[in-house]
Structure 1
Amino acid sequence: MVDVNGIRLHIAEEGSGPLVVLLHGFPESWHSWQHQFGPLAAAGFHVVAPDQRGYGSSDHPADVEAYSIFHLVGDVVALIRELGEETAFVVGHDWGAPVAWHTALFRPDLVRGVAGLSVPPPFRGEQPPLRTMDRRFGGHFYWNYFDRPGVADAEFGRDPRTALRKFFTMASAEGAGTGEIRQPLVDPERGWLADMPDPEKLPQWFTEADLDALTESFAHGFTGALNWYRNLDRNWELSAPWQGAVVTPPALYVYGDRDLVPAFPGTPELIERLPALMPNLVREPLRLAGCGHWTQQERPDEVNAALLDFLTSLS
């Protein structure tokens, strides 16, 4: 447990050397990086993965506004300092990727290199994201469902293990299947889980022990994690000074071709343009064939190889 930015964070760590901060997404915990600790530590890096605020054994502030992008980046900046370092590599998956990208955007002086899995670098749109998706999908996009106070919290909290089992299967390559990737739309009256298949068995890469650890990490409920989504429009307002700005530290982007996030409206076009938009993207975006949303868990060997190549080239 470490004190940072006015809260306490639980961290897992291994190894010594240049600091690599690994940031998980939703609905996850530090455990989602279990396959990265050993290889990165063996290569000479100090690997640290926190339960981010609102998750796991870390603090869960009650105020919705305590989950803005400035708070999330502030936690990373303070964590780097608390660990006695001046700079770090920052790697994020899913929601952890925007935190990593924004850390590099807001504090490039602290970031030796930044890598994002699933979610590409942030380019601030012309309109607030929640409002945009609400208009586009008639209030059925899952961000808008999550924005309703207490609703998704109650739905997922009734049976966290079943909710997590459904989520992890639905967003995996196995759940996506081979056809067109569908947008994650929710009937706000029925909830998301009602129409989400409950698998007879877990994906091969996700064990019952993994599900046990994940379920335990949500013993405090889902509200803290969902509060990240409830700040999407607020983050858009707060980030106005960075309109048109780009991430300048060396960068790596990795995604799966069966991941629902890179299929969001406008995202495929953004990914195609990244090499022109990102001045220090070290290579073309790495597209993993047959990989779903849980990038570093579904394809750990390929992700580890890409990360090690990226990190060692900058060390």
Structure 2
Amino acid sequence: MSEITHRYIETNGIRMHLAEAGSGPLVLLLHGFPELWYSWRHQLLALAAAGYHAVAPDVRGYGDTEAPPRVESYTLLNLTADIVGILDALGEQQAVLVGNDWGANIVWWSARLFPERFRAVVVLNIPYEVQPPASSQMLKQWSGQAFNFALYFQQPGVAEKELEVDARRTLRLFFYALSGDAPADLVPYLFTRKPANAGALDGMPEPQRLPTWLSEADLEYNTQIFTRTGFRGALSKYRARDLDWEELSGLTKMSVQQPVLFIGGERDSTMRFARLEATKALPNLHKVVMLPGCGHWAQQERPAEVNAELLAFLRQEVEH
């Protein structure tokens, strides 16, 4: 029986923490906000048991990985170079990429920028877009008088002041509010009707109890890490989006040619408003899976279903 082990590597000028299990073809698992490698705890062991080398880093700015001070360090060009550096540090030529939330953005662009290094991709909840993530100016135009999380996160210090008062409460509210366990009308309110001058946590209800997929021990692990690190590194990716727009807008002719598995939660905040046309137009789309009643944290909320789809895809696309 495999167990999860930990080590550090040097990649793209930073020291990165990896959690890993198993041996065999390499599968990299990239988390989003506000998560850690720990969000892939169920997938690491399932992949290892199936004969894969599963690796989940704390991505740049999170957990036990370095968090450089300059926002310029958090562009997608740097984040994708970090991932290529993992392969180099592990002595691997290729890997399969899996990502959720911001990790999905890193997956999409890694596959486009380094097609020779990534043989297949699995993306949760963030559909493929030809253009890079929207600039802050575009977000302002789209949001109008409604609150926008990405815009609120732009000004250094503002979100940190709110989120770091009580990291446990911040994580508890985020994990519950964006999950499939929250009231059905909560996501539309948070993303389209919440006042523009609100805080990130305003309008997020306290759950009467934690969702069944999130134990007190799970919440405690995340709380200890974010209490120690704060949220600055995690928020810095949002603050680099205007740089991403400048740097990547000229690279949009590079498409994803690899085999793609897309998994979405029907109650996910992104899936409520996103369009799937560009994803469905990809030349090697394997399958689009929608998980009924699932929210934004698909790999944690529905580990059995996600693992089954992931392993079936890998068996078809990756030769042992």
For the aligned pair, the TM-score class normalised by the smaller chain equals over 0.9
Q: Secondary structure at the match of 1:25?
A: coil
SS at match of 2:67: coil
User: Which letter maps to 1:81?
Assistant: D
Matched with 1:136 is 142
TM-score (norm 2): 0.92
Contact 1:124 1:244 in 2 (8 A): no
For 1:64-105, what per-residue CA distance to the aligned partner results, in whole angstroms no more than 9, with x for missing partners? 110000110010000011011000001001110010111101
Which of residues 225, 228, 231 is equivalent to 1:217?
A: 225
Counterpart CA distance in 2 for 1:49 and 1:279 is: 27
1:156 counterpart letter in structure 2: L
Query: In 2, Cα distance between the equivalents of 1:252 and 1:176?
Result: 28
CA distance in 1, matches of 2:210, 2:156: 30
1:256-275 to 2 correspondences below 5 Å:
256-264=265-273, 267=274, 270-275=275-280
Equivalents in 2 of 1:51, 1:42: separation in Å?
A: 22
Q: How does 1:65-104 map to 2 (within 5 A)?
A: 65-104=72-111
CA distance in structure 2 between the aligned counterparts of 1:40 and 1:254, rounded to whole angstroms? 17
Cα distance, 1:200 vs. partner? 2.2
Unaligned runs of 5+ in 1: none
- Describe the superposition over 1:91-138 as per-residue Cα deviations: whole angstroms up to 9, x where unpaired: 00111001011110100000110111011123206x943211211223
The answer to whether residue 263 in structure 2 is matched with residue 254 in structure 1 is: yes
- Cα RMSD (Å): 1.7
Q: Deviations over 1:272-308 (max 9, x none)?
A: 4522x2001112x111111011001111111001100
DSSP 3-state at the match of 2:56: strand
Secondary structure in structure 1 of the residue aligned to 2:206: coil
SS in 2 for 1:282: strand
Residue equivalent to 2:3: none
Which residue number in structure 2 is paired with residue 288 of structure 1?
Answer: 291
Mark the CA change 1:80 to 1:226 in structure 2 (over 3 Å): closer, same or farther: same
Q: Mark the CA change 1:287 to 1:314 in structure 2 (over 3 Å): closer, same or farther.
A: same
Amino acid at match of 1:245: M
Residues of 1 paired with 2:61 and 2:143: CA distance?
Answer: 28
User: Does residue 279 of the first structure (1) align with residue 283 of the second (2)?
Assistant: yes
Q: Alpha carbons of 1:183 and 1:192: their partners in 2 closer, same or farther (altered >3 Å)?
A: closer
How far apart are the structure 2 equivalents of 1:19 and 1:38? 13
Q: One-letter code of the match for 1:201? A: R
Which one of the candidate residues 244, 247, 250 is aligned to 1:238? 247
Q: What is the aligned length? A: 308
Q: Distance in 2 between matches of 1:31 and 1:229?
A: 21
| Shift of residue 189, structure 1, vs aligned partner | 4.1
> What is the DSSP-based 3-state SS (H/G/I as helix, E as strand, rest coil) of the residue aligned with 1:184?
helix
In 2, distance between residues paired with 1:149 and 1:157? Answer: 13
- Aligned partner of 1:216: which letter? Q
Instruction: Return 5+ residue gaps in structure 2 as ranges.
Output: 1-7
**What is the CA–CA distance in structure 1 between the aligned matches of 2:75 and 2:186, rounded to whole Å?**
36
